[in-house]
Amino acid sequence: MATEKNQKEGGGGRAPGSNLLDHKLFVPKPYQYFTEKQKEHYKTDEEALIYLTMAIPNDIYNRVDSRNSAKEVWDELSRQFEGSEVSIQAKQNLCINAYEGFHAKEGETLLETYNKYNIILNDLRRNNISKSASEINYKFNKNLNPEWKNFAINLQMSKNMAQENVTDIFSTLS
């Protein structure tokens, strides 16, 4: 990465917006010929790049050190940690499958079932999958162990499931 001093002296490095060019051969514009807006953009990008590289551990830095701008570093970090569109979709599918396959196991306590269900709900939220309160509550009640079925049915009849949250239902049952 070229320093600002190197840029001012007309040395190599990059120019603002150089990552947007489609040319295979690019000769950077010397810093002295930048407009004030380009200089401001360059300084801001350099500062952001410094903060980003200082904030990440060395092993992660080694994965992104070839990037020339703060945006390129950020985009690469985002891609590596959040994943590509395909991997994001795969994570969402796993979450949906876990939600749809949820049921209490035989011998599982109500607390264990509730904790397992909450983990699934947190995974859904983390992956930007939303479900209505009534759907969440109905799913929880419907998939309890047989010893809790009568309580769950009475609860469904006596409360508006759309206005309750699963924690309230668990508290009422326990």
pLDDT tens, residue by residue, 132-164: 877 887 788 788 877 777 666 666 656 656 566
Segment 77-90 shows an average pLDDT of: 78
* CA-wise closest residue to 17 among 49, 46, 42, 51: 42
Tokens matching residue 163: 């206005």
Cα Rg for the chain, rounded, in angstroms?
Answer: 27
Give residue 8's pLDDT. Answer: 46
The candidate with the shortest Cα–Cα distance to 12, out of 28, 34, 35, is 28
User: Mean pLDDT, to the nearest integer, of 45-60?
Assistant: 85
Choose the weakest-confidence range: 31-35, 92-96, 115-119, 170-174: 170-174
Contact by Cβ (8 Å): 53, 61: yes
Q: 68 near 19, Cβ under 8 Å?
A: yes
Residue 29 corresponds to which tokens in the numbers above? Answer: 């514009």
- Least confident range from 13-17, 89-93, 107-111: namely 13-17
> Which amino acid is present at 113?
T
Q: Model pTM?
A: 0.50
* Contact of 73 with 114, CB cutoff 8 Å: no
